[in-house]
Amino acid sequence: MDTEEKLGFIRALDSAQAKTDKRIVNRTSNYVESVRNYELVNSFGSELQWNEIRTAFFASSVASEAGKLELNMDRKYGTVGYELVKETDPNEFGHKVAKGAAELLSAAKPPSGFMNVIVDPDIAGLLAHEVMGHASEADEVLRQRSFLSNAVGKRVGSELVTMVDDGTIEQAWGSIPFDAEGTPSSRTVIIENGVYKGFMHSLETAGEFHAKPTGNGRAQDYNRRVFVRMTNTFFEPQDSTLDEIIGDTKEGLLAVQMMSGMEDPVGGGFQARVLKGYLVKNGQKKDLVRGFTLTGKALDILKTVDIVGKDLTLSGGTCGKGEEDWIPVTSGGPYMRAKIIVGGG
């Protein structure tokens, strides 16, 4: 693809944000592409060659009024080429991002306390990755750094909770054909109907546990150490629509889009900074509220999950481990409702 065409897409994203509302005072538009060629030979007799192609773009807007600043953002990722861009209208995408930032200027103060929270796929994925996922990496278990070390076979969530790591999902940002040790990528069930099933493995940890390698031995590059790392980690969907989940909620909060989160594989604590939300009263989505935090123990949250959405959404990103060796990963899930502590902004 011609470089000018890519720059044109970014300029269109930027222009759409600038034209949406005069209160937009800052904006960012990014485009990222990578093509990595792999060759791997190992002592098991493997001689492998493969390519990993990734494309992503990102837009964010900051709105300002009367001394108040509000941020909104969105992004798309995939193990695909420029078709990811081709299928996106930059004007519509940029306008939506900027409009969201402007709307937050008049958002209400969020509630606080222990309440019903409907988390969106972004936040569900944060819980899956940062807490349950890292604690399910077998090298963390061997180092006695996982609160799930003795959890196999035990109930860790409601019957509606199933969580997997699956590196074979077509076009997902964290998908890989093989890991850094030559093991084919696979689907690993970590939680099934609320019961904890087991860990993700590299060749080394699989030997220690007398288990089968799961294709999770990943390294940032050829000269970096292999750790047990996630690929696409998510909660599986069930059968409820978002409207049905909201309609079933007498009082609570719909949490939308995580901003950041805390990794706690040792203590099992969950903390998320959320961009925005909506009050839910008597089965209706009500007022927009500005950013807030969600906290609690991961297992306490998962055991209170009482309704799960039908639509799976995955979001790409990067994950660091060791001396901050970075790899592409995906996390996500459906909309889910659970009891969580909300901290008002």
Question: What is the tens place of the pLDDT at every residue in 40-91?
Answer: 999 989 999 999 999 999 999 999 999 999 999 999 999 999 999 999 999 9
Distances in Å between the Cα of 246 and the Cα atoms of 154, 286, 294, 300 are 31, 10, 19, 22
Query: Does residue 186 share a domain with residue 285?
Result: yes
Residue of higher predicted confidence among 38 and 322: 38
Band the pLDDT of 323: cuts 50, 70, 90: confident
Q: How far is CA 77 from the centre of its chain?
A: 11
Query: Does residue 148 share a domain with residue 91?
Result: no
Report the pLDDT averaged over residues 143-149.
Answer: 96
* Tally of domains within the chain: 2
Residue of higher predicted confidence among 285 and 324: 285
Does 322 have pLDDT greater than 90? no
Question: What is the tens place of the pLDDT at every residue in 278-288?
Answer: 999 999 999 99
Please report the beta strands in the chain, taking only residues with DSSP state E, as ranges in sequence order: 24-41, 47-65, 68-78, 113-119, 163-166, 187-192, 195-196, 217-218, 227-228, 232-235, 251-261, 269-281, 284-289, 292-297, 307-308, 313-321, 325-333, 336-343
What are the residues facing 155 on neighbouring strands? 195
Band the pLDDT of 324: cuts 50, 70, 90: confident
Query: Does residue 144 share a domain with residue 117?
Result: yes
Query: Does residue 199 share a domain with residue 335?
Result: yes
Band the pLDDT of 259: cuts 50, 70, 90: very high
Does 344 have pLDDT greater than 90? no
Which residue range forms the structural domain that includes residue 51? 3-104
The average confidence (pLDDT) of the chain is: 96
- Taken in order 302, 307, 310, 315, the sign of the CA dihedral is negative
Query: Does residue 122 share a domain with residue 97?
Result: no
Band the pLDDT of 315: cuts 50, 70, 90: very high
Does 205 have pLDDT greater than 80? yes
- Report the CATH number at residue 88: 3.30.2290.10
Does 320 have pLDDT greater than 80? yes
Domain C-terminal end among 77, 104, 131:
104
Question: What is the tens place of the pLDDT at every residue in 77-119?
Answer: 999 999 999 999 999 999 999 999 999 999 999 999 999 999 9
Q: How many residues does the chain have?
A: 345
Q: What is the pLDDT of residue 286?
A: 96
Does 277 have pLDDT greater than 90? yes
Query: Does residue 135 share a domain with residue 31?
Result: no
Q: What is the pLDDT of residue 72?
A: 97
Q: Can you count the helices (H) and strands (E) in the chain?
A: 8, 18
- Assigned token pair, 111: 């509630």
Query: Does residue 158 share a domain with residue 43?
Result: no
Query: Does residue 231 share a domain with residue 89?
Result: no
DSSP state letter for 206: H
- Assigned token pair, 279: 């009050």
DSSP state letter for 37: E
Does 220 have pLDDT greater than 90? yes
Band the pLDDT of 345: cuts 50, 70, 90: low
Within 8 A by CB and 6+ apart from 174, the residues are 167, 230, 231, 232, 233, 316, 328, 329, 330
Query: Does residue 116 share a domain with residue 96?
Result: no
Does 211 have pLDDT greater than 80? yes
pTM for the model stands at 0.95
Domain C-terminal end among 104, 123, 140:
104
Query: Does residue 90 share a domain with residue 20?
Result: yes
Query: Does residue 138 share a domain with residue 100?
Result: no
Within 8 A by CB and 6+ apart from 68, the residues are 105
Q: Hey, is 159 helix, strand or coil?
A: coil
Band the pLDDT of 263: cuts 50, 70, 90: confident
Query: Does residue 217 share a domain with residue 152?
Result: yes
For residue 265, the number of C-alpha atoms closer than 13 Å in the C-beta half-sphere is 19
Domain C-terminal end among 73, 88, 104:
104
Does 12 have pLDDT greater than 80? yes
